[in-house]
Structure 1
Amino acid sequence: MSKRAALYARYSSDLQTDRSIEDQLNLCRSFAEKQGHQIVAEFHDHAKSGASIMGRDALLGMMDAARDGAFDVLIVEALDRISRDQEDLAGIFKRLTHEGVEICAVHDGRADIIQIGIRGLVGALFLQDLAHKVRRGLAGVVRDGRSAGGKAYGYKPVLGMPGELEIVEAEAEVVRRIFEEYAAGAPPRDIAGRLNRDGIEAPRGTEWQASTINGNMKRFNGILQNPIYDGRIVWNRVSMVKDPDTGRRISRPNPESAWQEVPAPHLRIVPAELFQAVADAKSRYRPFSKTMKRNPKRLLSGLLRCGACGGGMSIHGKMGNVTRIKCTKATEARTCENKRPYVIEDIEAGVVSGLKQHFGDPRSIEYFVTVYNAEQQRLSAGDGAEREKAAQRLAAVNKSFQRAADLAIDGVLSSEEAKVRLDELRAERAVIETKLATMPEPPNVVQLRPAVVNRYLGMVKALAMDLQDSGELSDDVKATVRELISKVTVYPTSSGQPPMIEVEGFLSKVLDDAPEQKLKIRGGVMVAGSGFEPPTPGL
């Protein structure tokens, strides 16, 4: 009996060509023809690894089409084209089987649960074996005195000689300058600022940061810690693994015993004495161990942002009981014009006062919910009917498409007539789906969570009392308020005027079915000693 068939093809490396896709599809078309199947869809992913389904739009589109009942059988060259991951392959098989879709591999025939298990295991072993072989090959490259990693700042690859690097003298001068200034006592933030001021392009083409120069002491990266400038190639300092939930590659530091090092005197940029002097200076600093990490010291630690550039803000000095903060980009990269310091104690008091003033009473929160729901309904009033109309038309088009396909299969419509009709319906369906994708979703009616609201109100009251009585906040109070605050932006104002403060908080903490976007609380102008001036009435 003839079945509606979908074809899927994939190749994994960008070193391959689209010819691989066409060869796979031709093989699948021939198989479908021999089986008497009617091909109704083709899906293909180019240069996508089979180790994960993340980023494989065609595969996900095929699964969507299966859920819509668009085909009865999926034809692939081999099961590893679908996935080489045991979990993913089993999951896809389970879902397609649930939708009544069978999988047929050209070389293995109809897939069953035993074949899926075996092929999934073979695919996983293949990936593991491939990883071992790649690492073995890279180790050999390093033993030959060639680079097995990415291009470091100060070097460029030699054309036609894989792994060979040569020094870029203009960049090498910048590297030596960084080492000399650091050895002379200049902190990385000052060095970065001067490089930006002089218009020297950073390694990533944006701007120099202190972290670019200083690096991470656990990972031994950054300009000052790169051993290649000392004429040494060190490999295997980190391992790259894929996050099973996101499919993204992440790096993890390897123990020093696993590192592989070879001399490369022809790549030396920094004199040995200078490199050692910098290494000795940096050895006096060690990263904190996990047991030494503490809770945020202040209420707004890590939440403050500069209103001029969007960068973070950090401690810039302390005198007595007064602590001042400043834009990090202004002090480190020297790329922000907002060099003004702010008193963190005044900002904290202003934020607490603003929270208490806006949401210190349950009636305020109820009023916000009422206004928010009414405004959302008003804005989407016209969209709702339009969206419903488009959805109904899409359903009708899908039915017509199925009916035309069935008539073609039964021979009522000729292949030419069916092609014209199906192409028309495909085009109309694409237009409607695009329209629906760009239309806003109907608004959710948010509801209060009374118990959480009461907890929140008590927390705001305790926060205000702690500040008023002692100026010190307990860790519990700080942790609770930080659950609700996502960002505090400090906007510069004219000289002599206090800054504007804007607080963003998460609605989902106090509301049921809350929207994902954040609520902005305009606090007004902060006045030292009195918090926020009264804002416009209402929310």
Structure 2
Amino acid sequence: MGVKKQGPFDESQAQPCVIYARYSSHAQRDASIEQQVADCEEYAQRNGLRVVKIYADRHLTGKNDKRPQFQQMLKDAAHGHWSYVLCWKLDRFARNRYDSATYKYRLKKHGIRVIYAKESIPDGPEGILLESVLEGSAEYYSANLSQNIKRGMRYNALACKVNNGSMPFGYCKGPDGRFAIYEPEAEVVREIFRKVSKGTPFVDIANSLNGRGIHTKRGGLWGKNSFHAILHNEAYIGVYHYSDVRVEGGMPAIIDKALFLEVEQRLKTKKNPQGRHRENGDYMLTGKLFCGLCGSPMIGVAGTSRSGELYFYYSCNKRRVERACKKRHVRRDWIERLVVQAALDHILQPEVIQWVADSVMAYQERAGNSSVLAGLRDDLSENQKATENVMKAIEAGIITVTTKGRLMELEAEASRIRDAICLEEASLTHIERDFIVYWMEQFRGGNVESAEFRRKVIDSFVNAVYLWDDHIRIAFNYSGKGSAVDMDIIMETEAESFAGPGCSCNAPGTPPKHTNPNSEMGSDLCVFSSSDRH
């Protein structure tokens, strides 16, 4: 993956980027960061990029997002001052391949791409599709995690000790390894529960906390969606929970059970506990649907018919804001079902499935050559040599406090390195080719009426949709022949779209499935066929 190479470097025309570097092994030196930055700067110079800032996390794992510089980078991305995040290799951005897709999506919303100086991985349509396959395999391969690590975590859980994971707001790790109350945050938790029990809106609670300079556990601002995890977390009434281990009284309580149950009941009876988000108000094509007439994004909005019924639809943003486009609105449910059915018809072809399988296998072969894993194994080999030298000295009669202390240090270091190797190997899950084909084939039996299924299809396969009043073009997440399809359509008029029940026209229904792309859809509202518009 990379950017388009430029001619002679002209800094005034260079695109801005930032560098993110990270290392986690205790045996790695600062030179590791410096080498990453040097390689990234060389890549930037070669590809016409201008480095405006460097973010670096030292001694921090990439398995989660508890990285101060990483979080600061995500926060700064919202300002839109740069176009690329440049990393040394894939595992520097996120060692967990499944989390990587989440972080890249957050950056993509701000128009920012992640590129790598020392690794070639697709960041175009193919990259999106490969990441979808990897995400889909996660649940099937969780059993590959190290048994030693899982056994140790379960032992900690049975003793009600802190395991890996996010620390609940209001708690810290005590000297005995168990949860302890962190009073400055605990008082905030009590305040949140008290205010919610009295009916204070979430947005007012968030404004109050932000106004006093009180931040979330990750150092961010509070929002109306910040309270769900807190208000439903039994930890605050003293219940320790990890995996299948649940121990009442296993950790100190911050609030009493009566208040917790009162808040829980209020949230159940409150129709809209998280603010203005309405049921069925999700728009799956957001960021992917564009007006064919002017190229502007089509955004999701809601409207009310004459009968008072609420309808959801997409509208050309240029028409809404500037009144400068004639593109008609389109009903959300209709266009999303149309796109999903077209994706299923055109993606699930034997040659496409085989291409995806080949691409994922090639990606895994590259990812398996982990530089981090190789470095850890070298560290363990050096540790073993040093241990052998100390043992030879002891066997020769050199038994001193220094040799004994050095031997204990080496043994402790070897244990830490083995744990790190175990974690790294667990993160490099291998997906069999048969599973990749199975993952693709399972879409054939999906229910287009299921919102969850439609979202999965759109996120996995659809790259962009361009909509005119008489035809549609859908670009998919793979390249080559057939990577886009054009279809003629006949849409209902805007008057029909929002007339609602009781009028002379019908509300648009779901376009029926079709096996022949040249066949009519059998609907009074829409007819489409494949056409060559290349």
- One fold, TM greater than 0.5? no
Shorter-chain TM-score tier: 0.3 to 0.5
